[in-house]
Copies of this chain bind each other. A is one copy, B any other.
């Protein structure tokens, strides 16, 4: 088998969120009867329960009607859209962005992640990745043949910070890490890095000349007025850094495929060169939709946050009512990452069993790091009552498989 074949064999998506309909049925040890209730897909948010930002479709239609000037933009995105978005992102993150040189519009934040890693990770380059973190981070490092250096996040042991192991991070930097990539709020745990953590990360990056990349996809959806520190707003931030954001989550605009990356000119320049051969550009008419981003009706964001906060609170109560189950309360974003007691089946089998017995889709913890053999991720951007009912059923199934 050639090395490409091996690479693609490792690049598994069978357990990836959203692909469950393509899973092959296996011999599973099914215990008990099916549990009736609403089918809930916790692998992503439900944009029917939390609908796209008001005005988004109208902007798309306006973009379509404007025609060729919107359909065919520069590869990095249309100039007037970049100007619009750069100003809003600069205000939100607390540091200026040059729309001509420091911003690129991408097909989703996934597009931004791919382009950035394609520009920064070569064969054998060491990349520090938090565990747990967004599952594709690991896959991207593997695809570009970098060397993954995992850094642990003690998310269950803390409540005033994210819990990243800073001595281990420094040790990895000493070993010659080129890039450190992390999501904040963290996916899948929902924890937010403290100001102290962010400042240490910035200082270490300067000291060891490490490129920093922070995925702030969920940074608008913060609960309980939790403090949030934008890495790029720090006085001592590195010049070699990139921030990623997009309107696919809190704003429910995923169907338009929009994301942004902003930061060092040399990285953005490379990303545009790569985008030119990957997809040419983010979808032209969709780009126009970015005009409503950060410009939602008065109270819209606060209301959306309040709705999600209530769902979070109820789900956390359900999980914690089962003996031996642990979950940290989400600081920001739409995920919880509960930890279960020992069961008679693996977590990936458990996810398949749950799907068969309840119609509920969860994501096995092992997608986020090989050691998360007792955890699963839930995207709770769902209909409130359906989500509670679904997680109750998941926990009922868990009890059937709990080790005696």
Contacts and interface: CB of A to CB of B under 8 A. Distances in A.
A254 B72 contact: yes
Which of A21, A113, A276 has most chain B Cβ within 10 Å? A276
Contact of A18 (B57, B64, B74, B139): B74
- DSSP class of A's interface residues: helix, strand, loop or mixed? helix
Nearest to A255: B71
B136 A277 contact: yes
Contacts of A75: 13, 16, 18-19
B4 A114 contact: no
Contacts of A63: 255
A120 interface: yes
Copies of this protein chain in the complex: 2
Interface stretch (A148-156, A280-288, A370-378, A387-395): A280-288
A342 to B, nearest CB: 31
> For chain A, which range describes its interface: under 10, 10 to 19, 20 to 34, or 35 or more residues?
35 or more
Interface in A1-44: 2-4, 8, 11-13, 16, 18-19, 21-22, 44
B114 A277 contact: yes
Given A13-B75, A111-B278, A278-B278, 15 more contacts: A3-B122, A4-B120, A11-B277, A13-B276, A16-B276, A48-B67, A48-B68, A57-B64, A60-B60, A71-B255, A107-B107, A255-B283, A256-B285, A279-B279, A283-B286
16 contacts: A3-B123, A8-B119, A11-B277, A12-B273, A13-B272, A18-B280, A19-B74, A21-B74, A21-B79, A47-B68, A60-B64, A61-B61, A108-B279, A143-B277, A256-B283, A283-B283
The 4 A-B pairs of least Cβ separation, nearest first, read A71-B255, A255-B284, A257-B283, A4-B122
Interface of A: 2-4, 8, 11-13, 16, 18-19, 21-22, 44, 46-48, 51-52, 57, 60-61, 63-64, 67-68, 70-75, 79, 107-108, 110-111, 113-114, 119-123, 136, 139-140, 143, 254-257, 270, 272-274, 276-286
